[in-house]
Amino acid sequence: MKLLAGNSNRALAEDMARFLKLPLVKAVVRRFADMEVFVEIQENVRGEDIFVIQSTSFPANDNLMELLIVIDALRRASARRITAVLPYFGYARQDRKVGPRTPISAKLVANLITHAGADRVLTVDLHAGQIQGFFDIPTDNLYAMPVIVKDITDYLGQGNLMVVSPDVGGVVRARALAKRLGADLAIVDKRRERAGESEVMNIIGDVEGRSCILIDDIVDSGGTMCNAADALLREGAKDVCAYATHGVLSGGAVARIKGSKLKSLVITDSIAATEEIAKCANIRRISIAPLIGEAMRRINNEESVSSLFD
């Protein structure tokens, strides 16, 4: 088995390599003057079981193109099996037609990765589980949940906790976390009664005096988490912490989180952290390198991956 890192999240790839006690394949991934991507694999990979590690995070198009070109280079170099390891799968939120004449970009990107030559995909907390079916190759969707549960137990203990889904779409995920923690569940129900009117946040559940834990797959602008925190505190919650697998944190998100009433936002390292994120006092990062590393080891050994979550 060999590991090859793209440029999107080198630190995570190095942590996985350390976990597996393997060096990263020597490769050059660089740009021509016109920004076209050039890849050269600098060691023999013929007959190898190769894992290409690349999050298709910001800049999503560049990182995606880099992934496709690396896969093409490996295929032409006769790698036996190529697994695209996508700690964060970008474009996942475009998973259905939102109106007439709109694309389903998640499916398009899945096709691109498959046609480039990937034999398998390994990813974490897909925005919607059914995106797995967009790939016509074996796809393992890991859950960051065990890592999140451990962090909550270490940092927040288990008393007086209330798990909260920040929107109705995230209830299944929140319920799973609540079950694991033996905690109660509440839901933030966002409603805009009429176009142009501001959103009304109704809380389903009694959060008075409770330590609330918001859980989501993605935190992007931070709006969902910060608004939910405000609504929970208005309803008498004692404090609010937030957990999200993928810290997309675009635009002014970090400043927004910093100025919010969130006690903390915990994200994983599925996306490389900017300096601003690393320096933000109420954002903390936990690592999923051992989780993905163990899944890669099991794939290489033809062992069960699902039993990681039993």
Give the closest residue to 234 by CA, choosing from 265, 212, 257, 259: 212
Instruction: Give yes or no: 258 in active site.
Output: no
Residue 256 burial (C-beta neighbours within 10 Å; 0-12, 13-18, 19+)? middle
- 222 is a site residue for ligand R5P (CB under 6 A): yes
- 125 is a site residue for ligand R5P (CB under 6 A): no
- 119 is a site residue for ligand R5P (CB under 6 A): no
Run of H or E including 107: helix 105-116
Q: What torsion, rounded to 10 degrees, do the Cα atoms 124, 229, 203, 180 define?
A: 40
Q: How far is the CB of 93 from ligand R5P (least distance, A)?
A: 6
Stretch that binds ligand R5P, among 21-29, 206-214, 219-227, 276-284 (CB under 6 A): 219-227
Q: How far is the CB of 248 from ligand R5P (least distance, A)?
A: 7
Q: Which of 2, 97, 107, 190 is catalytic?
A: 190
Residues 107 and 281: their CA atoms lie apart, in Å, by 37
Residues 51 and 28: their CA atoms lie apart, in Å, by 16
- 95 is a site residue for ligand R5P (CB under 6 A): no
Residue 94, token pair as written in the block? 């475009």
Stretch that binds ligand R5P, among 19-27, 142-150, 217-225, 294-302 (CB under 6 A): 217-225
- 217 is a site residue for ligand R5P (CB under 6 A): yes
Stretch that binds ligand R5P, among 37-45, 73-81, 131-139, 221-229 (CB under 6 A): 221-229
- 224 is a site residue for ligand R5P (CB under 6 A): yes
Task: Report the number of secondary-structure helices (H) and strands (E) in the chain.
Answer: 9, 14
DSSP letter at 251 equals T
DSSP letter at 192 equals -
Q: How far apart are the first and last CA of the chain?
A: 25
Among 15, 66, 140, 216, binds ligand R5P (CB under 6 A): 216
Among 169, 209, 252, 259, binds ligand R5P (CB under 6 A): 169
In this complex, which beta carbon is closest to ligand R5P, that of residue 212 or of residue 219? 219
- Residue 29 bridge partners (DSSP): 39
Residues that bind ligand R5P (CB under 6 A): 167, 169-170, 216-224
Active site residues: 190
